[in-house]
Amino acid sequence: MRIGDIARQAGVSARALRYYEEQGLLTSERSPTGQRIYPASAVERVRLIQLLFTAGLPSRTILALMPHIDTGHGSPEAVELMAAERERISAAIAGLTAARDTLDRMIDIAHHPTSEHCPALREPPWTAYHADAATTAAAVPVTA
């Protein structure tokens, strides 16, 4: 099958197929004119690669998993690889959740400012910093 046929049947671009070949995830033969020729089984392999990418696995991990997948038997090594990727993804989710929570707090403060969070609401009100005013302010004591 030609690259366009595989791409259509697997629901990916021809460019994705070329990338998979560059990464060693997919192989093809070459026609006498240099066109890529894939076996019909490549459609299923590409769909599996897409599923692994959707699961958040990088191409290097997918490449490491492929020999285990090709044998058709689960292995402790494959499970360890996937568990390590799951931990990496969980850590990324935790980081993003913390960032989202911080942003939620900032949005809430923007909607409901208080003098604790907003210098402009303090008494005396906050004023912009000016270098020449700072030297004058240092010489003049502030009384409240």
Handedness of CA 8, 12, 13, 17 (dihedral sign): negative
CB 46 within 8 Å of CB 10: yes
- Name residue, tokens 């060693």: 24
- Please indicate, yes or no, if residue 138 is contained in any of the structural domains: no
Confidence of residue 121 (pLDDT cuts 50, 70, 90): confident
- 11-60 pLDDT per residue, tens: 999 999 999 999 999 999 999 999 999 999 999 999 999 999 999 999 99
Domain span at residue 24 reads 3-111
Query: What pLDDT was estimated at residue 118?
Result: 77
Q: Judge whether residue 94 has pLDDT over 80.
A: yes
CATH of the domain at 50: 1.10.1660.10
C-alpha count within 13 angstroms, C-beta hemisphere, residue 116: 3
- Please indicate, yes or no, if residue 30 is contained in any of the structural domains: yes
Q: Judge whether residue 102 has pLDDT over 70.
A: yes
Angle, CA of 141, 127 and 115, to the nearest 5°: 100
- Please indicate, yes or no, if residue 21 is contained in any of the structural domains: yes
- Alpha-carbon torsion angle 137, 141, 142, 143, nearest 10: -160
- 56-69 pLDDT per residue, tens: 999 999 999 999 98
For helices 42-54 and 3-10, the axis angle rounded to 10 degrees is 50
- Please indicate, yes or no, if residue 140 is contained in any of the structural domains: no
Q: Judge whether residue 142 has pLDDT over 90.
A: no
Q: Judge whether residue 95 has pLDDT over 90.
A: yes
CB-based contacts of 125, cutoff 8 Å, min separation 6: 119
Q: Judge whether residue 128 has pLDDT over 90.
A: no
For residue 52, with 0-12 CB atoms within 10 Å meaning exposed, 13-18 middle and 19 or more buried, which class applies? buried
